Amino acid sequence: MNMQAIAIYLKKLSEHNPSASYYNVDVLKYQVSSNGIQSTPLNLATYWKCNASTTDVRVDYKYNPESMNVPSMLSNVQVVVPVDGGVKHMQALPPAKWNADQMKAYWKISSISEKSENEEGPSKPATLAVQFISEGSTLSGIDVELVGTGY
């Protein structure tokens, strides 16, 4: 790794945006082919029921330890569900945070369901996002070791 090049790159970033609290630097990129749902540590199934005045969304999930070489706990699991159609009121179990500007509901996972009343419905089923941390295990099974001075 060329530390001098990284330092120059970070200096340019800080000059371009001096008020940023952090900067992202790609140090490694790789692509892994998967075997579909068997490769994911958290299997999700979403069910949408959309009509002009309400939207019901249910997210079922199941932990899949077989997807990892060394199974480990998933933590800080968050699910993001976009809901359009002019949501005016939302009921969610467990409670979710609603972001009206982004038209998205945010959950910390345990179990998930949502029902909203819409002013501009019906909603359209959309792709949801999930994020989590898995300490001590990579999903791809790839191990990375930095060698050299300074590591």
Give the distance from CA 104 to its chain's centroid.
13
Tell me the sheet residues that pair with 48.
57
Residue-level pLDDT at 19: 87
Residue-level pLDDT at 61: 84
Buried b (16+ CB within 10 A) or exposed e, 56-94: ebebebeebeebbeeeeebeebebbbbbbbebeebebee
Task: For the chain, list the domains and their CATH numbers.
Answer: 38-133 (2.60.40.1170)
Residue-level pLDDT at 150: 62
* Tens of pLDDT, residues 15-62: 988 888 888 877 777 777 777 778 888 888 899 998 888 889 998 888
* Tens of pLDDT, residues 104-144: 999 887 544 556 778 887 888 888 888 777 777 776 667 77
State the Cα–Cα distance between residues 5 and 103, nearest whole angstrom: 40
Decide: pTM greater than 0.95.
Answer: no
Higher pLDDT among residues 92 and 69, named by residue:
92
State mean pLDDT over 93-107.
90
Mean pLDDT check: name the lowest of 50-54, 96-100, 133-137, 147-151: 147-151
